[in-house]
Chains A and B, each alone.
Chain A
Amino acid sequence: MTTATDTVRGVAHDALQPPRAGTKAPYYEPQGNEIEVFEAAYRSRLPVMLKGPTGCGKTRFLEHMAHRLHRALVTVSCHEDLTSSDLVGRFLLAGAETVWQDGPLTRAVKGGAICYLDEIVEARTDSTVVIHSLTDHRRQLTIEKKAEEIAAHPDFLLVISYNPGYQTVLKDLKPSTKQRFIAINFDFPSEEVERKIIANEVPGTPPDIVTRLVAAGRKARLLKDHGLEEATSTRALVYAAHMINAGLEPIEACRVAMVNPITDDIELTEALLEIVKAHFSQWKSPTASTG
């Protein structure tokens, strides 16, 4: 349990703590009706699946929704070695005694939080089956080791995410798992929305820069099926804006934020840089042009 001082110092923050009233919700710019869909799903307590490419705002969306619905958010990043005990909980030795320690999923179930299993396909199938009983009408979590069945808190909601990339061909979710979810498709936002996002994320970016960044990003995404495994994300654009704000030349900022991280291919690098240069080579920083 976190102590009061910890909370004050900001060192630790209990995942089960709902967002404090009065704080501002994390910024999220809706791309479509996803907020309404999520709210409707939450009202009916139906589990939700967020699908979409890396860096298009899935996690941010969920943070925003958790705040909006005033629910705590418990995030578990799934990986290959994740076992069901990691999710549900396990006995621990404490002196001569044993103590049962709830896993994050169990805590969320009990505490009425939103539990977010990020990149669920990465987890092994035996750990994904524990969620089955939670995702249908039963809304129960079975803890085999304690021979317990926990009925979920009325506010509990399960959310999973996955990125249907080609690496997941052999690891796709089972159809029986998939069909238990309401699925919201995410994609990179529209031009207008993306401009708003960058302007909001990096306050003080000149609107001209924002426009050019977004236009360059859209063009860069067209190279997705030409050798790029992941398209230029909104996050990369935000990073580029940060770098420009920190004083880097725009072309250089784009190179380090949008080009270098995603490819080592020479031709792709050149093509991406062509895009960046076309958008920025006529750009003069306001300070430079006055001189």
Chain B
Amino acid sequence: MTAQERVQRLLHELGVQYPFAQRPALAAIEALQQHGDEVIVRWLEAARRLLEFNRDAGRVFILTSARAEAASEIVLPWTSQALKFLHWPGSAGAIEHFMRSVPDAYAALGHAGQARWAEIGFMWYSRHSESGRVYFATPVSDLAARQGITGIEQLCAPLEELYESRKLMLATYLSGALRVRNLLGAQAILPWAAQGAEIMQTARARGEAYFRLESEESLSVLLEHVPGFRMGQRQRLLTLLLTVWYERDFDVNESSWSPERGRPFVEADGRSLHIPAVMPDREEAILAVLHAAGRIVFGGFDRSALAAIFRMLGAELPASGPVSWAPLFERYGPGMLRFRLLFDLCEALRVDACVQRVVPNYLERLAEAGAARRDPLNPALPYYDLALASVRGAAATVRGKAADLDPRMRRLLEPGATLVDAYRIADEIYRASALPEVEDLEAFYAAYLPGHAPQATRPAQIPANDEPAQGESGTDTSNGVNDGETPEQGEAQEVNEQGEASSELTQQQGGDADSSDGGTHTPKFPGSEPGRAADGDNKGKPYPEWDYRDNRYRQNWSWVQQKPLAESNLAEANKLTAQYASTLKRLKKAIQTQKPTRMAPKVRQFEGDEIDLNAAVAYLTELRAGTSPEAAIYRRREVRQREVAVTLLADISTSIMQHLPEGGGRLVDRVRAGVLLFAESMEEVGDAYSIAAFCSKYRDNVNYYTIKDFDQPLTTAIKGVIGGMSGRLATRMGAAIRHATARFAAVESTRRLLLILSDGRPEDYDDGGDRRYLHEDTRMAVKEAVTRGVHPFCVTVDTMANQYLPQIFGRGHYMVLDRMDSLPNKLPEIYLKLRR
């Protein structure tokens, strides 16, 4: 039988058995004709076997063959590859994916590459059928990422290791790994996947979410590998710079930016700054933060200017709540992106000119960074260049040199220019210019100079009418805590834990907020309602509270209940001890070196172990001079020369549960570590000390937890309690100070120090939003303590504390740690400095 006859017979059989396959088979044979009948016979046999195996698989094989041949100009290699699937029952789906990918594989990888591609796929199929299926289902171009077979090898290499050690499957790994590689390059895959494999072993669902890039931890591992300037870790520097240049505090939040969203920007919404986790470099980060803060400070969210623009557009500015920028751009229809770029450019120039007035050299710096980052391949180069030219022109104008600045933009450099001018001028330029269309979002983002950002990405939080748009008083509302009239944040997911903690407070006061905002300032006291008060025995000890409005004490007003802290976590304490072992060692050493001075012999004593030579000479001299001096000529060594007693009073309100802005855990971890290190150091120092914590809910429920009393030794049980400290309720500081002061009464020492560790202003659920009330009361409590010979000193991690602590504790009687991370080390150090 000739080959041709065999072809005919096979075709006939095929037609009888699988009538639907005959016509496509004929079409395919047409395409394979040039390879000769021998080849066609082998192909037809393969087709039949595949049809027998699974009808759909066979049909797809036949249908895709023509394309596979066209791409490869061969037939048998991929035919035999397809037949390999017959080893595995249930591989029909995989055959389909395989055959559909074959043409692309040849086109993208060449013959050798295709063979390797298939080989890797088969290897995975034999290990784990789902992984093989996913592999072949993934478009070859995605696997290779324009790097041919090398790209695929790079992609799979990290997996090999993790498959061996952790049984990580390709099906789990692939989609995430592809995205990771696209974002950060192949080198970022391994650390990311290794972490994921570990999670996968302990918790499957968590691990899967990790590999889908859906979990927080996955994103954070990714962010760690994004190259560039870490905004979170360097946030302190950025806030320092904001303080320096704008002389006020800003609310700085981390935005939900992730590498997939494209270029990172620092955004402002009129109330807060939103910083991405990473910026390309330090220079851009600094410029961006200064610019975004500049927008807030220099009227970028000015209510009257925005209202004027809305009027121009025949619309009404909403009286309150976040305002969308969309109406400003709607009328430009398809040219919207173009206009947005021009508007942002004009507004940025206006803001930059203002920023230059407070930050010397800012425009030059911006121009330099812009020039350095200019990319000739930038898809939005005309816009970028226009922005760069405007900044250069502005910089020259500021220096009083001849400037090559678009005359229309000159108005923006004047001090009186507003958002309205920026809008008007942008419109003018838009109508006259022949700038190209902006094609996509990537090009749109690429148009911005380093440091600039699209404005309209967040709804504007416009300060209310009666507030000056540029005034410093804006800081109060930016705090967001206890702000009765604050509309809900536009993006709820951005609210951090601190915000949640305080919104709990706000809700509690919901009903009271209105009346106290009316100007009467009458906090309501839920505690004064009958039935609220706790009963008899548990009521605790009453203390007066100062009411500044009546200028008098309210007697027996706040009730302090002293109790032990029930929770204990020795494991945590041990972990912290281990973690801070080196710090503790350093502290102890420092204390020991201080000891000689502390243990210094008392001179001029009437009795003692040695003769005080100076005193003896003086004595003899005076004797000889005819006077009758006192014979205090001895020195005596004494362990406790300085009688200092100290109470460490920790504020454990809800807010200590917040996560650290610089990352690496929660504030409460640092508080625990700080208290623990303090206790260990105190053991070394030898001064009498006690440790207590407090929290409150209403005036009649102030909890005072004694963790370690003066006469107690530091036991493991106490360490466990310190390890188990956690945040709860609010901060009625005055009552706690009074109670701590009272507890000093039993202690005999000449110097008594009350070290208060806090993270925020005094506040309670029943202060009715009137901050001043508890501030004034705390101030009075401090005064009372001083009269009783106790020196309160406040250590706080609230960077806004400069606004209220000087009034409460007085200058020099508080210390702001602007890095919460430094708390554990600093707390003992501060004490040592204080007692010196």
Chain A residues with CB under 8 Å of chain B are: 85, 90-93, 97-98, 100, 145-147, 164-170, 212, 215, 219-220, 222-223, 225-227, 267-268, 270-271, 274-275, 277-279, 281-282
Contacts and interface: CB of A to CB of B under 8 A. Distances in A.
Chain B interface size, as a band, is 35 or more
B431 interface: no
A166 B244 contact: no
Contacts of A277: 361
A167 B834 contact: yes
Interface in B242-258: 243-245, 247
A169 B791 contact: yes
B815 to A, nearest CB: 6
Contacts of B812: 164-166, 168-169
Given A91-B624, A93-B620, A169-B753, 17 more contacts: A91-B627, A145-B622, A164-B811, A166-B812, A167-B836, A169-B834, A170-B835, A220-B244, A222-B243, A223-B240, A225-B802, A226-B240, A227-B819, A274-B286, A278-B360, A278-B361, A281-B361
Nearest to B282: A270
Interface string B641-684: 00010000000000000000000000000000000000000000
Contacts of B585: none
Q: Name which of A98, A170, A222, A281 has the most chain B CB atoms within 10 A of its CB.
A: A170
B705 interface: no
A168 B751 CA distance: 13
Chain A contact residues: helix, strand, loop or mixed: helix
25 contacts: A85-B618, A91-B622, A91-B624, A91-B625, A92-B621, A93-B620, A98-B621, A100-B625, A146-B627, A166-B812, A166-B814, A169-B812, A169-B813, A212-B360, A219-B245, A226-B816, A226-B818, A227-B818, A227-B819, A268-B240, A271-B237, A278-B360, A278-B361, A278-B362, A282-B360
Q: Name which of B621, B624, B802 has the most chain A CB atoms within 10 A of its CB.
A: B621
CB-CB nearest 3 A-B residue pairs: A271-B240, A91-B621, A98-B625
Contacts of A97: 624
B237 A93 contact: no
A93 B802 CA distance: 56
B244 A271 contact: yes
Contacts of B620: 93
Interface of B: 234, 236-237, 240-241, 243-245, 247, 286, 359-362, 364-365, 617-618, 620-622, 624-625, 627, 629, 644, 751, 753, 791, 793, 799, 802, 811-819, 833-836
A170 B753 contact: yes
A187 B236 CA distance: 27
Contacts of B245: 219
Given A91-B622, A271-B241, A225 B364 contact: no
B834 A275 contact: no
Given A215-B360, A274-B286, A93 B816 contact: no
Given A91-B621, A145-B622, A222 B836 contact: no
Contacts of B835: 170
B244 A223 contact: yes
Contacts of B791: 169-170
A219 B621 contact: no
B361 A93 contact: no
A66 B625 CA distance: 36
B238 to A, nearest CB: 9
Contacts of A227: 817-819
A271 B236 CA distance: 9
Contacts of A220: 244
Contact of B243 (A166, A223, A270): A223
A225 B624 contact: no
Nearest to B629: A145
A268 B236 CA distance: 9
Nearest to B802: A225
Nearest to B619: A91
Nearest to B239: A226
A219 B237 CA distance: 14
B629 A267 contact: no
Contacts of B811: 164
B237 A267 contact: yes
A93 B624 CA distance: 9
Contact of A90 (B237, B362, B621, B834): B621
Contacts of A267: 234, 236-237, 240, 819
Contacts of B817: 227
B354 to A, nearest CB: 15
A231 to B, nearest CB: 12
Nearest to A275: B244
A279 B360 CA distance: 6
Given A223-B243, A278-B360, A279-B360, A170 B834 contact: yes
A102 to B, nearest CB: 14
Nearest to B817: A227
A91 B360 contact: no
Nearest to B801: A225
A226 B243 CA distance: 9
Q: Name which of B236, B241, B244, B836 has the most chain A CB atoms within 10 A of its CB.
A: B244
Contacts of A219: 244-245
Contacts of B815: 166
A222 B247 contact: yes
A278 B290 CA distance: 12
Nearest to B822: A227
Q: Name which of B360, B622, B751, B814 has the most chain A CB atoms within 10 A of its CB.
A: B360
Nearest to A167: B833
Nearest to A98: B625
B644 to A, nearest CB: 8
Nearest to A220: B244
A173 to B, nearest CB: 13
Nearest to A221: B244
A165 B817 CA distance: 16
B506 to A, nearest CB: 28
Contacts of A167: 833-834, 836
Nearest to B799: A226
Given A91-B621, A98-B625, A145-B629, A274 B241 contact: yes
A92 B362 CA distance: 67
Given A85-B618, A166-B815, A167-B834, A279 B361 contact: yes
B237 A270 contact: yes
Contacts of B836: 167
A75 B44 CA distance: 112
A98 B624 CA distance: 7
Contacts of A212: 360
B210 to A, nearest CB: 32
A253 to B, nearest CB: 17
Nearest to B395: A282
A170 B754 CA distance: 11
Contact of B621 (A93, A268, A279): A93
Contact of B627 (A147, A225, A226, A278): A147
Nearest to A281: B361
A222 B629 contact: no
A85 B629 CA distance: 13
Nearest to B621: A91
A11 to B, nearest CB: 28
A91 B245 CA distance: 60
A34 B236 CA distance: 38
A223 B816 CA distance: 11
Contact of A170 (B240, B244, B625, B751): B751
Contacts of A279: 360-361
A222 B244 contact: yes
A169 B644 CA distance: 13
A164 B818 CA distance: 21
B813 A98 contact: no
B244 A145 contact: no
